[in-house]
Amino acid sequence: MDFVRLLLVFLHLLGMGMLVAMFFIQRRVGANGPLNKGWLHGSGLQLVTGVALIGLAPLTGRDYDVVKMGVKLALLVVLAGLVAVNLSKKQVATWLAPTLGGLVVLETAVAVFWR
Ligand code: HEM
Span 29-46, pLDDT tens digits: 988 999 999 999 999 999
Q: If we measure between CA atoms, which residue out of 42, 56, 46, 22 comes closest to residue 111?
A: 46
Domain ranges (residues) in the chain: 2-113
pLDDT of residue 1: 86
Looking at every residue in the chain, the average pLDDT score rounds to: 97
Q: Which residues line ligand 1 (CB under 6 A)?
A: 5, 9, 12, 16, 19, 46-47, 50-51, 53-54, 62, 64, 69, 72-73, 76, 104, 107-108, 111-112
Q: Say whether pLDDT at 87 is over 90.
A: yes
CA distance 9 to 17: 12
Task: For residue 70, report the distance from its CA to the centre of ligand 1, in Å.
Answer: 11
pLDDT of residue 22: 97
pLDDT mean over 15-31: 95
CA distance 26 to 9: 26
